[in-house]
Chain A
Amino acid sequence: MIKKIQRILIELANIHRFVMRFYREVFMPPYEFKEIIRQCYEVGWKSLPLISLTGFITGVVFTNQSRPSLAEFGATSWLPALISIAIIRALAPLVTALIASGKVGSQIGAELGSMRVTEQIDAMEVSGTNPFKFLVVSRVLATTITIPILSFYTAGVGLIGAFLSVNQSENTSFTVYFDQVFEAVTYLDIFSLVLKAVVFGFTIGIVGCYQGYHSSKGTEGVGRAANWAVVMSMFLIFIEEILIVQIIQAMRA
Chain B
Amino acid sequence: MLKSGGHIDRDTEVITVQNVSKSFGDLHVLRGVDLHLFKGENLVVLGRSGTGKSVLIKLISGLLKPDLGTIEVLGEHVDELSEKELQQLRLKIGFSFQNSALYDSMTVRENLEFPLVRNKRHLSRGEINHEVEDVLDAVGLLHTINQMPSELSGGQRKRIGIARTLILRPEIMLYDEPTAGLDPITCIEINGLINEVQEKYKTSSIIITHDLACAKSVGDRIVMLLDGKFEREGEFDQIFDTDDERVKPFYDYNFIT
Contact = CB atoms under 8 A, between A and B. Distances in A.
Interface string A103-130: 0000000010001001110111111111
B61 A129 contact: no
B234 to A, nearest CB: 30
B115 A118 contact: no
A115 B168 CA distance: 22
A126 B90 contact: yes
B110 to A, nearest CB: 12
B93 interface: yes
A112 B227 CA distance: 34
A129 B114 contact: yes
Interface in B52-106: 58, 61-63, 83, 87-88, 90-91, 93, 95, 97-99, 101-105
Contacts of A115: 103
Nearest to A126: B95
Chain B: interface residue count, which band?
20 to 34
Nearest to B64: A122
Contact of B104 (A118, A125, A126, A129): A118
Contacts of B129: none
A127 B164 contact: yes
Interface residues of A, number: 14
B111 to A, nearest CB: 9
B114 A120 contact: no
Contacts of B63: 122, 125-126
Contacts of B101: 118-120, 122-123
A111 B114 CA distance: 18
A158 B26 CA distance: 57
A128 to B, nearest CB: 5
A123 B118 CA distance: 14
A75 B168 CA distance: 73
A126 B168 contact: no
B208 to A, nearest CB: 14
Contacts of B164: 127
> Chain A binding site: helix, strand, loop or mixed by DSSP?
helix
Contacts of A127: 90-91, 95, 114-115, 118-119, 164-165, 168
B168 A123 contact: no
B61 A120 contact: no
A174 to B, nearest CB: 44
A128 B115 contact: yes
Contacts of A129: 114-115, 118-119
A128 B99 contact: no
Nearest to B176: A119
A128 B97 contact: no
Contacts of A122: 58, 63, 97, 101
Contact of B103 (A120, A125, A126, A128): A120
A120 B102 CA distance: 6
Contacts of B90: 125-128
Interface string A124-146: 11111110000000000000000
B97 A130 contact: no
Contacts of A111: 105
Interface in B132-166: 164-165
B15 to A, nearest CB: 15
A32 B98 CA distance: 29
A123 B91 contact: no
Nearest to A122: B63
B168 A128 contact: yes
Given A127-B119, A129-B114, 9 more contacts: A115-B103, A118-B101, A122-B101, A123-B103, A125-B63, A126-B63, A126-B90, A127-B90, A127-B91
10 contacts: A118-B104, A119-B101, A123-B103, A125-B63, A126-B90, A127-B164, A127-B165, A128-B90, A128-B168, A129-B118
Closest 7 CB pairs of A and B: A123-B101, A127-B115, A119-B101, A126-B95, A128-B119, A128-B91, A129-B118
Interface of A: 111, 115, 118-120, 122-130
